[in-house]
């Protein structure tokens, strides 16, 4: 089979646009053919890059929604950290609450900073940062809600997070 | 992409992997590794630690594959393994511990060990794990040079997740044309990034 034909099959395969028989044939080809594997890898890399780029652009506008609510003085890191921790806790509680009965994220409401209630005591050991806040929360929303609790523990407790920093601009 | 379609392909590959075709698992790994690395990079700042966690995730997932029962999406399952692996990794501070490859086998074929060893070698370079800025920029530039119809088709497909049928309706063209446009868009972008990718294809792919 010609390379173009093979790659066109791989392209349609990764889009889920092949019928059962065609899909079976394409997978057979993919498992056996190095060129098909190369196309599979390249096309998925491109997909990831495009989606990541779109996501980052979305994340920027998302950050703009959250920052005005926080009203953080540039020098007041500890107060900001407490607020950030509180916001993440509310995200998690919100996620667990929604996750209990519904694993689908399709109908989840968009994050609204106005919904956040700060009711968690200051804990300066939790080095949560603005970067964490704006990056982890969307990740949590995108993935199955059953993982919210694990993500939260990891975010707050893990020593590794302390190396992430945020620069106030 | 429609989640059911995604599952359909993933499950078909998992089925093949369970039938002692490790290359099928490799294809799943290739499909999801960038997404997995990106998620890990949100939690872990150090590239070598991302690498370690990813490697252990890969090994654990491969080992656990016979237990995958198709009641969740493959990536959700993989994600759970990755998070648990990251958690225990830092908990124990075992930065350089790896499971023994001799303990791992989906079937009884010893070739699987070679397969895993090869995968670990493939991801040994941190630069190969997290997509480089250069590749991302090249893809973005390539997108901007695409003919408008190709660009529209691939954006509707990859960003908006529309089916070929839906794109055909928007673009007022046959489904076969959409299929061709998306393929050509991918190929044109791929041509631009190939020089940036590892020249040693047998190693990378």
- Yes or no: say if B74 and B11 are a contact pair by the CB < 8 Å rule: yes
* Cα end-to-end span (Å), chain A: 56
Of the candidates A41, A19, A15, the residue with the CA atom closest to the CA atom of residue A30: A41
- Yes or no: say if B159 and A54 are a contact pair by the CB < 8 Å rule: yes
- Yes or no: say if A41 and B30 are a contact pair by the CB < 8 Å rule: yes
pLDDT band at B158 (very low <50, low <70, confident <90, very high): very high
pLDDT at B73 over 70: yes
pLDDT at A127 over 70: no
The CA-CA-CA angle for residues B142, A31, B129, to 5°, reads 50
State pLDDT tens for residues B74-108.
999 999 999 999 888 877 654 454 444 333 334 33
Which segment of A32-36, A147-151, B1-5, B148-152 scores lowest on mean pLDDT?
A: A147-151
The most confident of A62-66, B108-112, B134-138, by mean pLDDT: B134-138
Contact B130/A at CB under 8 A = no
Residue with tokens 């804990």: A123
Q: What is the mean pLDDT of residues B47-58?
A: 86
Record: contact B190-A151, CB cut-off 8 A: no
Report how far residue A9's alpha carbon sits from residue B135's, in angstroms, rounded to the nearest whole number: 25
Of the candidates A159, A150, A92, the residue with the CA atom closest to the CA atom of residue B85: A150
Distance from CA of A81 to the nearest CA of B (A): 17
- Yes or no: say if B47 and B126 are a contact pair by the CB < 8 Å rule: yes
B interface test, pick of A3, A39, A49 with most B CB neighbours within 10 Å: A49
Determine the residue of chain B that is closest to A58 in CA distance: B159
């Amino acid at each position: 089979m010609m390379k173009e034909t093979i790659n066109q099959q791989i392209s349609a395969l990764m889009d889920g646009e092949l019928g059962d028989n065609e899909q079976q044939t394409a997978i057979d080809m993919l498992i056996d053919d190095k060129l098909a594997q190369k196309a599979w890898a390249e096309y998925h890399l491109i997909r990831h890059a495009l989606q990541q780029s779109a996501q980052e652009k979305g994340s920027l506008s998302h950050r703009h929604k959250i920052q005005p609510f926080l009203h953080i003085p540039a020098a007041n890191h500890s107060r900001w950290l407490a607020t950030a921790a509180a916001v993440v806790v509310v995200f998690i509680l919100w996620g667990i609450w929604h996750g209990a009965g519904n694993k689908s994220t399709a109908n989840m409401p968009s994050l609204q900073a106005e919904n956040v209630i700060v009711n968690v005591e200051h804990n300066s050991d939790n080095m949560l940062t603005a970067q964490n806040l704006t990056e982890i929360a969307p990740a949590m929303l995108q993935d199955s809600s059953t993982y919210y609790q694990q993500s939260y523990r990891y975010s707050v407790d893990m020593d590794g997070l302390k190396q992430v920093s945020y620069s106030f601009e | 992409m429609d989640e059911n379609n995604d599952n359909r392909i993933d499950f078909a590959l998992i089925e093949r992997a369970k039938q002692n075709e490790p290359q099928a698992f490799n294809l799943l790994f290739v499909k999801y590794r960038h997404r997995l690395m990106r998620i890990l990079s949100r939690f872990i700042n150090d590239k070598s630690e991302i690498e370690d966690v990813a490697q252990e995730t890969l090994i654990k997932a491969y080992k656990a594959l016979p237990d995958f029962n198709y009641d969740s999406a493959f990536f959700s399952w993989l994600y759970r393994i990755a998070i648990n692996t990251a958690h225990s990794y830092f908990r124990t501070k075992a930065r350089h511990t790896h499971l023994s490859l001799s303990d791992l086998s989906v079937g009884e074929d010893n070739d699987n060990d070679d397969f895993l060893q090869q995968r670990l070698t493939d991801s040994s370079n941190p630069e190969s794990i997290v997509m480089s800025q250069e590749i991302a920029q090249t893809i973005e530039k390539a997108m901007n040079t695409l003919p408008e119809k190709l660009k529209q088709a691939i954006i509707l497909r990859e960003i908006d997740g529309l089916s070929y049928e839906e794109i055909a309706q928007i673009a007022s063209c046959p489904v076969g044309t959409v299929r061709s446009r998306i393929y050509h868009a991918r190929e044109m972008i791929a041509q631009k990034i190939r020089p940036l990718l590892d020249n040693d294809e047998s190693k990378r792919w």
